[in-house]
Structure 1
């Protein structure tokens, strides 16, 4: 628990420091060029409340063979190809605050569960996200934790299950840390406006983008992820109780936004490839593997974004893929599908002269320090001397 707190503190501190230290004013030429496409709102603080349906679906599969049979002396059944877990509660409510380049959002689950908790048990969800900008790169750091998953296939592989009883796997806990860095090639397209509501997109625009993504996912359980009746006896990975995946992927794709009288509709989609480090624990051994993995990035956003108020709808989907011992030689497969649909309502407040001056003073001190460390001031001085 202490390690998770330290990780969260590091993510927040890192993103906050970078977003302030490297936030730069646009050149005059850029401002003239972009003023008809993007409106800055750096003199305001945005507060918002949002509700989301954040679903995390875990899929476990053990090979080979793809199909095998179970005989309980009464009924001969085909065991499931996949064991699928979903949380019983994926409805979240949260609050967000954005200030210049920095944004912080946190959310927890609501009391609303999808299924009867007396039968399917309870789930717990927590999400925290911090975002900012470093020069021309957008940074997004996110942490989420899920505990308590419902086994959706128990009736398939357990022929004796014919009465209401708790199906929840309270012992399964997932923790995920995601770091994203995105760069867009067209300055007319504002990711800050379309997906973060930190600017206002005035005209339609399209762009290509590049994305670097680091993800660390940790799955833990007291009992094996795959129940005994659903387990392939020929697979040594069937007794796995812990799986940690650290992957780094490079993604490329396109993004665009259509704007009309304050209303907008935007989307981005990209594909990529990366490398993954896998560590796992079985009942008799532990091990480490490395693998190449595919990457998919899908985001969509729409709504109304004005100077003071914004109401937006957003959808994003991500997939984590892990195969042991390798992608091309699969004996154990774990896939997590994360889908988030969100409704966000917010309002922008004036900073006021005192807060504005404090921010300008802090930025000036940090800019001066960074320039001194990076030697930019020295370069400028030499350039002026050479011009004379």
Structure 2
């Protein structure tokens, strides 16, 4: 866990320095087209509320029925065992400075259900994003602990009164790294989903995306309850599952704009590879598997030079099948959905700070070019704060 956090923090640091100071000089000089307006001289602060729900779905494909050990009670095959957190309502703060954005959120003190009956959940999410050259980069970490299964009566025929199965021992941790590039400069991802620019006119584009994900599920007891578990399943006693996947996605994106109001979205499909490690009652093992991928985002709202109010929907699915996608004996699906309302205001950066940022950006950008070109790069003087 410490090594994972160190890796994430290193990536966040690199991303923040690269996206703030390593962007191209032309970007700093507000070289936008007629469809997009730059607001690089502003600092944005925002507050947001979201319902970020993570559903964990497990199924070990048992036979349709089997006898209990006492040979008296007939059990029907359960549908998917679905675990949900008790509290998925989050509040958070966002900050953006030039191309850099940082957001952090925690759960609200108000749970969706009575904690004395349904147990307690804990949620934390942290995201850093930025733009380097023509690429949008994103790093996110989230942690959920405390889940419940609200329908154990479906596989426990002896349960006479509905009561949830509380799994406060289940903890999930995820690290997601994204790199996205758009093929049409008239469409601004910064404006539609990050509120770092202003989309002036409607536009459409294609895009491609690379995603690396590390997901870690841990529990003290097997993920599948004893009464829902196939006694003959190889994976029924699983208590730990870790997935590393790399996927490539392609799709389309578009936005409609009218007098500051906009509606935009993205939809893409792709595929990749996944490596899974897992722990069972009798040992550990690992597998490689093919992985389908789906990418969907939608956003709408009001975005002007000072004020922005947006609503956003995001859906992500992480899919893991053992022993492989085409021969499934055990299936685990992480289905994340988020609905968010975000309100923010932009403040002037000030001429001195703005010049300093442009100058530092130019120096570091020129230094990077010098390294990449083997000493042929030169420093530009036009953005230094001492020169008008």
Tell me which interval the TM-score lies in, with the shorter structure as reference length: over 0.9
Matching residue of 2:312: 314
Stretches of structure 2 that go unaligned for 5 or more consecutive residues are 380-388
- Looking at structure 2, the residues matched to 159 and 365 of structure 1 have their Cα atoms a distance apart, in angstroms, of 70
**SS, match of residue 25 in structure 2:** coil
Matching residue of 1:11: 11
- Which residues of 2 match residues 228-239 of structure 1 at below 5 A? 228-239=226-237
Q: Is the 8 A contact 1:119 1:167 kept in 2?
A: no
**SS, match of residue 365 in structure 1:** helix
Q: 1:164-213: CA deviations, max 9, x gaps?
A: 76632111000000011000000000000000000000000000000000
Q: Please report how far the alpha carbon of residue 154 of structure 1 lies from its aligned counterpart in structure 2 after TM superposition.
A: 1.2
Q: Please report how far the alpha carbon of residue 132 of structure 1 lies from its aligned counterpart in structure 2 after TM superposition.
A: 0.5
Q: 1:12 to 1:234 in 2, by over 3 A?
A: same
**SS, match of residue 12 in structure 1:** helix
**SS, match of residue 281 in structure 2:** coil
- Looking at structure 1, the residues matched to 80 and 198 of structure 2 have their Cα atoms a distance apart, in angstroms, of 45
Stretches of structure 1 that go unaligned for 5 or more consecutive residues are 382-388
- Looking at structure 1, the residues matched to 30 and 92 of structure 2 have their Cα atoms a distance apart, in angstroms, of 35
- Looking at structure 2, the residues matched to 26 and 376 of structure 1 have their Cα atoms a distance apart, in angstroms, of 22
Q: Please report how far the alpha carbon of residue 368 of structure 1 lies from its aligned counterpart in structure 2 after TM superposition.
A: 2.6
Q: 1:110-156: CA deviations, max 9, x gaps?
A: 01211111111000000000000121110011110000000133111
- Looking at structure 1, the residues matched to 30 and 49 of structure 2 have their Cα atoms a distance apart, in angstroms, of 36
- Looking at structure 1, the residues matched to 259 and 225 of structure 2 have their Cα atoms a distance apart, in angstroms, of 55
- Which residues of 2 match residues 285-300 of structure 1 at below 5 A? 285-300=283-298
Of 320, 326, 331, the match for 2:329: 331
What TM-score do the two structures reach when normalised by structure 2? 0.93
Q: Please report how far the alpha carbon of residue 21 of structure 1 lies from its aligned counterpart in structure 2 after TM superposition.
A: 4.3
Matching residue of 1:218: 216
Q: Is the 8 A contact 2:21 2:357 kept in 1?
A: no
Question: Is 1:69 aligned to residue 56 of structure 2?
Answer: no
Q: Please report how far the alpha carbon of residue 73 of structure 1 lies from its aligned counterpart in structure 2 after TM superposition.
A: 6.8
Q: Please report how far the alpha carbon of residue 375 of structure 1 lies from its aligned counterpart in structure 2 after TM superposition.
A: 1.5
Q: 1:131 to 1:167 in 2, by over 3 A?
A: same
Q: 1:231 to 1:28 in 2, by over 3 A?
A: closer
**SS, match of residue 236 in structure 2:** helix
* Number of aligned residues: 378
Matching residue of 1:199: 197
Higher helix proportion (structure 1 or 2)? 1
Q: Is the 8 A contact 1:315 1:342 kept in 2?
A: yes
Q: RMSD of the alignment, in Å?
A: 2.1
Moved more, 369-378 or 189-198: 369-378
Matching residue of 2:2: 2
Q: 1:237 to 1:201 in 2, by over 3 A?
A: same
Matching residue of 1:39: 37
- Looking at structure 2, the residues matched to 83 and 37 of structure 1 have their Cα atoms a distance apart, in angstroms, of 48
Q: 1:340 to 1:70 in 2, by over 3 A?
A: farther
